[in-house]
Amino acid sequence: MATLRVESIGGLRARVRAAREEGKSIGCVPTMGALHAGHAALIDRARGDCGFVVATLFVNPMQFNERADLERYPRSLEADLAVCRRRGVDVLFVPAETEMYPRRATTFVDVEGLTDVLCGAFRPGHFRGVTTVVMKLLHIVVPDRAYFGEKDYQQLAVIRRMVEDLNLPVEIVSAATVREPDGLALSSRNRNLTAEQRAAALALPRALQAARRAVAAGERNAAALRRAAQRWFDREPLLRLEYFEIVDPESLQQVERIAGPVRIAAAAWAGKTRLIDNVAAG
Ligand code: PAF
C-alpha cells in the first residue's frame, strides 16, 4: 500500500480532513524516525484500531539538551518510508524544522512534578520540548488516538498527564517495549553503539530483570535493589549508570518500601549514547 509523504501542515490537514469525511477514525504515531520493530508494533496497533494512520517523523530540536546529541541522532528517511509502506501507514508527515517552528517559539507546555525526576533530573528542558512538540502534533493531526511506547515510560506518563490536565480529546494508547532476543530494548539510539558497547548494554535489562525477580521473590527494600543493580554496572566498564530508581507507576515518585505495583526505571551511558529502560514489578 502507498504511503504518502507530506511535508506541510496544510497538506496533512487536507488529507486528514478527507479521511474524516469518509468516516474514518484517525490514529497518530509520533516518532523521530530511525524506525525499528518497536515503532512497527505501534503502527500495527494504530492500523488495527483506526481507519486512517498518520506517522510523524520529526527530530525535534527542542527536546535535545545538546546540539551534538541532536546531530548524532540517527536518520534514515528512505528506510523509514519503506517501513511505513510495509505496515500500511497512510501518511508519513515529515515537516522541516521551519514548518514546525517558523519563528522562535515563545509558547511552551510544561508538566510539573513528573518531569523533575528520573530522566528529567538529568535532562533539563527535555520534557518541555517533548510535551510542546507532542501538543503541536496533536493540534496538527487531531487524531482520535495517539500511540506511544512503554520504553519511554516517563514520557508516556507525562503525555498522559498533559492530555488529562488540558482535556485534550485524544486517547493515549501505549504498547509494551519490544526487545532483542537477548533482552536489549529496541531504541533508535542502539544504532550508535559499537559491538563492545552493545554487549555491555545488556547489563541494563539484566539488572532490571534481576530487580523484578527480587521483588517477585519478596524483596521490599528499594535501597537493597539499587545496591544489587549497581553491581551489574560495576562489572561493565563500558557502561556508566546514571540512575536506577524504584518509583510509583503514576506519580513517578521514589518508593523506599515496596507495598504495591512499582516501575523500576534506569538510564545508563555507553560512551556518548544514553540508554533507558524500565520494567513493571510488584
Ligand atoms: O519518543 C519520541 O520519539 C519523541 O520523544 C516524540 C514523542 C516523537 C516527540 O518528539
pLDDT of residue 148: 98
pTM, rounded to two decimals: 0.98
Ligand 1 binding residues, C-beta < 6 A: 30-32, 60, 63, 130, 133-134, 152, 155
* Unique residue bearing C-alpha cell 544504532: 191
Predicted confidence band of residue 230 (pLDDT cuts 50, 70, 90): very high
* Unique residue bearing C-alpha cell 563500558: 238
CATH topology of domain 188-281: Pantoate--beta-alanine Ligase; Chain: A,domain 2 (3.30.1300)
Tell me the mean pLDDT in the region 145-158: 98
The residue to mutate among 155, 159, 274, having the most atoms of ligand 1 within 8 angstroms of its beta carbon, is: 155
Q: Which CATH number fits domain 4-175: 2.60.40.1120, 3.40.50.720, 3.40.50.620, 3.40.50.300?
A: 3.40.50.620
pLDDT of residue 26: 99
Predicted confidence band of residue 2 (pLDDT cuts 50, 70, 90): very high
Separation of CA 258 and ligand 1 centre (Å):
31
- Measured between alpha carbons, how far is 105 from 86 in angstroms, rounded to an integer? 36
DSSP class of 210: H
The CA-based dihedral angle spanning residues 224, 229, 230, 236, taken in that order and rounded to the nearest 10 degrees: 160
Domain parsing of the chain, residue ranges: 4-175, 188-281
Cβ-based neighbours of 112, under 8 Å, separated by 6 or more:
none
pLDDT at 108 over 90: yes
pLDDT tens track for 75-97: 999 999 999 999 999 999 999 99
Cβ-based neighbours of 186, under 8 Å, separated by 6 or more:
36, 37, 38, 151, 177, 178, 179, 180
Protein residue whose Cα sits closest to atom 8 of ligand 1: 31
Mean pLDDT, the chain, rounded, equals 98
pLDDT at 1 over 90: no
pLDDT of residue 16: 98
Cβ-based neighbours of 78, under 8 Å, separated by 6 or more:
none
pLDDT at 174 over 90: yes
Query: 39-50: b or e for each residue (b if 16 or more CB lie within 10 Å)?
Result: bbbbbbbbbeeb
